[in-house]
Amino acid sequence: MTAIQLDRVSRWFGNVVAVNDVSMTIGPGVTGLLGPNGAGKSTLIHMMGGFLAPSAGAVTLDGAAVWHDHGVYRRIGLVPEREAMYDFMTGWQFTLANARLHGLPEPAAAATRALDIVEMAFAKDRALDTYSKGMKQRVKMAAALVHDPAVLLLDEPFNGMDPRQRLQLMHLIKRMGTEGRTVLFSSHILEEVEQVASHIEVVVAGRHAASGDFRAIRRLMTDRPHVFLLRSSDDRRLAAALIADASTASVELDGRERALRVQAVDFQRFVHVLPLLAREHGLRLYEVAPSDESLESVFSYLVAS
Amino acid sequence: MPAPERPPPAAAELRPPPAAGVIHDIGYRHHDGPRFGRWYVVRSLAVHSLRGAYGLGRPVRSKVMPALLLAAITFPALIMVVVTVITEADKLPLDYVDYIPVTFYLIAIFLAAQAPQLVSHDLRFRQIPLYFSRPLTYADYVLAKYAAMVAALLVLMCTPLTVLYAGALLAELPFWAQTRGVLQGLAGALLFAVVLGGIGLAIASATPRRGFGVAAIITVILISYTVVSSVEGIALEEDHPEVAMYAELFTPFNLVNSLQLWLFDREENALFATLPTPDGWQGVIFAAVALGLVAASAGFLLLRYRRASAS
Amino acid sequence: MNATVAGITWRAMVGRRRALLLFALPAVLLLLAVALRLTGVADVESARVVLGAFALGTLVPLLGLIIGTGVIGPEIDDGSIVYLLSKPVSRFAIVITKLVVAVGCVAVFAVLPTLLAAVVMASGDDGLAAGYGAAALVGGAVYCSVFLMIGVLSRHAVVIGLLYALVWETLIGGYVPGARTLSIQQWAVSVASATADEGAISADVGLGVAVTMLVVVAVAATGYAGWRLRSLALTGED
């Protein structure tokens, strides 16, 4: 059970605080590190990867500090954001060199295996500077996987990838997660994190804003209005009944959608009151759906606050 | 229980039908008025590059080296002025024309360090297409950068000359002689700036890596200087002064130095005391070679950026 | 010492445009030596000038600069050093391996041509070949270690190294005799003086001082470079 632990970690560069008192635990499975640009995601990943020392607090892997410990790389695989690699090498030579640098007993076999996982065996004898961006990213993954690490850190892996490459990479990351590895990737694009991560950590302006399943996070924000989409046998009468109740902030009849949009300020009360009111007025409810459960709204609420 | 007899009113009665696509004017304004011409663009680029060469408009770190070199090259001039004033000498210890050759190491370092600063950044980060999507042709770009490099070198070289001149006037040395001297010195500085700036820029534009450009420029200057010095030393030993004089053609600083000595009709070479200076038509060869170097550098730069603008 | 790191470093050094400079410089030296020999001017005195001023005075420091910064500077600059640092390899091993490759390059591109030039010009008289060859090796190695360290410390390593070699060693060392005691160049000259025949080469710094300083500087520079590599921050561009 490999877990990265951040304990009250802060990092500042002169007067700029990049990471502000962040505590989190990254366990097995796929975790998405989400936040707008400049939120400190790269700084956090660098600290977890042992390339930056925290100004305060501790970053540990299974209890041992990551900083200044080059032995820790036996268990960590890092996929950096920057594109530069040893351009004069071929994909095969690059992966093999990485395998050798890890001191693996059978570097060639490990390299072959890694290239097969990322499906880059077909281009392994071409020089790296002839690769497309997606191919380079996959070879970087192969280099990070060659020593079968328990922890995988990916810094903005989907940057600049086209939809098909993105799908392949998502599939790969999910597979790494189901194999029991601790996978952490950062992104500022909500759809990517939504589709791949089972657990998200939200970082905004250096602060740890939220953590957990995104639906659970949404639930926790009961001080924000929940918006529901209702369809019933008589929307207008339902609207009148709902607005009379304290749990509803606003009702809106959407003629085009032929639905009723309700903003509920008291979630618990609203879900209790809705069926009662419907029965009281003899209305039939055809559809009751939350209309902002996506990560998008979580994000914008968090960022706005 | 009353049930609705009709379906609710059609959506059309509640809302107007959606219109066809329309783009709204949200206030974005084009500029249709007068614009400055190409000349303004070239001038702006040159000024911007010149400021960059001295680290203005950049973080403090970029100002350290130019400031250090400027101080280092002006310091001896200050000392000379002080010495002249105190000892009440009747002339400066070193002539204006000789000051630059004597301090050529510092000028070489400045060239090697700052020429890449002017051109490597744009090449490395592929910003050239951004420049050429403006009303700026590749010739304008080269002109602007060349002018900036020449200006940067001139600032470096003219500061100590100005200090010397001011000090000479303070020490009440003969006015017209000093003025003539400083004008010669400034003209010489211009020659140095044009020839060396061209060479430095040409070499720097050959590589997007700044460190490599620095190494390449200093290598060319230093190796040519050392080879030529060795050859000259040996030639003078073996009593072949002509060979020694023509050897000067093969390294840029000495070439321009000999050229300016010929132009201003002087006998003593500050870089190499016993070396003869060109006389009469010999000087024409030096002038031709210098001109050729400038043309070659400019040609290389133009070709380089024409290729960059076409790709 | 790590064979894979050595392989990567060596291929990066000789496989690029940098290699042009590396080949061109000794070529100039050899051409000069041959030219002087053919024109019948080559004698012990001129050999001393060429080897002392050119080979040892210019070629070795320049090549030390280009090679010393070239084995680590570009990798740090474009960030590809992360692939070396994210491995369970000691930082000191990385630095020492790169230094060994650098010294190897210096041996091929500076020491060998110096020996050849000395033989061509003076054909073994006065032990000049051995003297200048030894000096080139020792001086080149220490230059590499110092410039490698500067390459780890700063992105402007080439300019800083230039300032040292040109301003400190040549300019100031030329006018201030005291500065010569702190000049890698002069220490190398002492080694040359001791290795060549008696009195063939004159040195300004005593042999004991020179050798001690060479060893101390090389070890300290390498150690400090390894130490700082552990804390290298892989930030964005300058």
Range of the domain at B266: 38-293
Cα-only R_g, chain B:
29
Query: If DSSP states are collapsed to H, E and C, what string results for B209-267?
Result: CHHHHHHHHHHHHHHHHHHHHHHHHHHHHCCCHHHHHHHHHHCHHHHHHHHHHHHCCCC
Looking at residue B272, its pLDDT comes to 76
Nearest residue on chain A to C92, alpha-carbon basis: A70
Q: Which of C153, C156, C183, C188 is nearest to C171 (CA)?
A: C183
- Which chain C residues are closer than 8 Å to A73 by Cβ? 86-88
Phi, psi of B263 (to 5 degrees): -60, -40
Residue C238 is assigned to a structural domain of this protein: no
User: Tokens in use for B203?
Assistant: 């070499």
Looking at residue A159, its pLDDT comes to 84
Q: Which of C199, C175, C26, C25 is nearest to C127 (CA)?
A: C199
User: Tokens 């590059």 sit at which residue?
Assistant: B49
Structurally, chain C folds into a number of domains equal to 1
Residue B71 has pLDDT above 50, yes or no: yes
Contact of C88 with A73, CB cutoff 8 Å: yes
Looking at residue A134, its pLDDT comes to 85
User: Tokens in use for C189?
Assistant: 């000259």
CATH 3.40.50.300 domain extents, chain A: 4-219
Nearest residue on chain B to C40, alpha-carbon basis: B238
Contact of B110 with B156, CB cutoff 8 Å: yes
The residues of chain A scoring below 50 in pLDDT are 305
Looking at residue C63, its pLDDT comes to 94
- Give pLDDT tens digits for B231-285: 888 888 878 888 888 888 999 999 999 999 888 888 778 777 778 888 888 889 9
Separation of alpha carbons A225 and A291, rounded Å:
11
- Which chain B residues are closer than 8 Å to C25 by Cβ? 219, 223
Helix, strand, coil proportions of chain B in percent (round to 5)? Answer: 70, 0, 30
At residue B182's C-alpha, the angle toward residues B107 and B164, to 5°, is: 70
Residue C28 is assigned to a structural domain of this protein: yes
| Average pLDDT along chain C | 88
Looking at residue C88, its pLDDT comes to 93
Separation of alpha carbons B164 and B178, rounded Å:
10
B72 touches C: beta carbon within 8 Å: yes
Residue B298 is assigned to a structural domain of this protein: no
Contact of B236 with B275, CB cutoff 8 Å: yes
Q: For residue A48, what are the CA distances in angstroms to A144, A152, A159, B40?
A: 15, 10, 20, 50
- Give pLDDT tens digits for A75-130: 999 999 887 888 889 999 999 999 999 999 999 999 999 999 998 899 889 999 89
Mean pLDDT on C193-220: 88
> Where would I find the H helices in B61-174?
61-87, 96-102, 104-124, 128-132, 138-170
Contact of B178 with B135, CB cutoff 8 Å: no
A100/C90 touch (CB, cutoff 8 Å), yes or no: no
Looking at residue B58, its pLDDT comes to 86
Instruction: Return contacts of A134-138, CB within 8 angstroms, 24+ apart.
Output: A134/A161, A134/A162, A134/A165, A134/A168, A134/A169, A135/A91, A136/A83, A136/A85, A137/A79, A137/A161, A137/A165, A137/A169, A138/A168, A138/A169, A138/A172
Enumerate neighbours of A (3 or more CB pairs within 8 A).
Answer: B, C
B105/C18 touch (CB, cutoff 8 Å), yes or no: no
B215/C65 touch (CB, cutoff 8 Å), yes or no: yes
> Where would I find the H helices in C39-127?
44-49, 60-70, 73-78, 82-85, 91-106, 112-122
Range of the domain at C97: 3-229
Task: Label residue C237 by pLDDT band (50, 70, 90).
Answer: very low
Q: For residue A8, what are the CA distances in angstroms to A20, A24, A58, B184, C90?
A: 8, 8, 7, 68, 29
C27 touches B: beta carbon within 8 Å: no
Task: Give the sign of the dihedral formed by CA B112, CA B114, CA B119, CA B120.
Answer: positive
B230/C50 touch (CB, cutoff 8 Å), yes or no: yes
- Give pLDDT tens digits for B33-69: 888 888 899 999 999 999 999 999 888 888 999 999 9
Q: Which residues contact B299 (CB under 8 A, 6 or more apart)?
A: none
Contact of A47 with A186, CB cutoff 8 Å: no
**ipTM of this complex > 0.90?**
no
What are the residues of chain C with a beta carbon less than 8 Å away from any beta carbon of chain A? 2-5, 7-8, 11-12, 15-16, 78-80, 82-91, 230-234
| Average pLDDT along chain B | 87
C163/B234 touch (CB, cutoff 8 Å), yes or no: no
Looking at residue A224, its pLDDT comes to 61
B11/A258 touch (CB, cutoff 8 Å), yes or no: yes
Poorest-pLDDT segment among B109-118, B160-169, C202-211, C214-223: C202-211
Structurally, chain B folds into a number of domains equal to 1
Residue B162 has pLDDT above 90, yes or no: yes
Residue C126 has pLDDT above 80, yes or no: no
Contact of A82 with C79, CB cutoff 8 Å: yes
First CA to last CA across chain C, in angstroms?
31
Mutate to test the interface with B, among C156, C235, C237 (most CBs of B within 10 A): C156
- Which chain B residues are closer than 8 Å to A235 by Cβ? 8
β A29-34/A182-187 pair status: parallel
- Which chain B residues are closer than 8 Å to C51 by Cβ? none
Looking at residue C238, its pLDDT comes to 40
Separation of alpha carbons A138 and A152, rounded Å:
14
- Give pLDDT tens digits for B106-146: 999 999 999 999 999 888 888 888 888 888 888 999 999 99
> Which residues on neighbouring strands pair with residue B279, listed in sequence order?
none
Separation of alpha carbons A5 and A65, rounded Å:
9
User: Tokens in use for A60?
Assistant: 């540990």
Give the DSSP H or E segment for A255.
none
Mutate to test the interface with C, among A101, A145, A147 (most CBs of C within 10 A): A101
According to DSSP, residue B10 is labeled: P
Mean pLDDT on C80-92: 92
Q: Which residues contact B69 (CB under 8 A, 6 or more apart)?
A: B106, B109, B110, B156
Looking at residue B95, its pLDDT comes to 87
Q: Which fold has domain A220-304?
A: Alpha-Beta Plaits (3.30.70)
Separation of alpha carbons A81 and A161, rounded Å:
13
Architecture of the domain spanning A4-219: 3-Layer(aba) Sandwich (3.40)
Crossing angle of helices C60-70 and C18-38, rounded to 10°: 160
Q: Which of C22, C67, C61 is nearest to C189 (CA)?
A: C61
Q: Which of A255, A77, A97, A258 is nearest to A173 (CA)?
A: A77
Residue C182 is assigned to a structural domain of this protein: yes
Separation of alpha carbons A49 and A69, rounded Å:
10
Nearest residue on chain B to C48, alpha-carbon basis: B230
Looking at residue B273, its pLDDT comes to 74
Residue C236 is assigned to a structural domain of this protein: no
Looking at residue A297, its pLDDT comes to 58
Q: For residue A160, what are the CA distances in angstroms to A78, A163, A164, C53, C99?
A: 19, 10, 12, 53, 37
3-state secondary structure at position A77: strand
- Give pLDDT tens digits for B6-26: 555 554 455 555 556 777 777
- Which chain A residues are closer than 8 Å to B8 by Cβ? 234-236, 258
Residue C234 is assigned to a structural domain of this protein: no
Phi, psi of A12 (to 5 degrees): -125, 150
Contact of C200 with C127, CB cutoff 8 Å: yes
3-state secondary structure at position A208: strand
> How many other C-beta atoms lie within 10 A of the C-beta of residue A138?
25
C167 touches B: beta carbon within 8 Å: yes
Task: Give the sign of the dihedral formed by CA C221, CA C222, CA C225, CA C226.
Answer: negative
Q: Which of B129, B155, B119, B176 is nearest to B309 (CA)?
A: B129
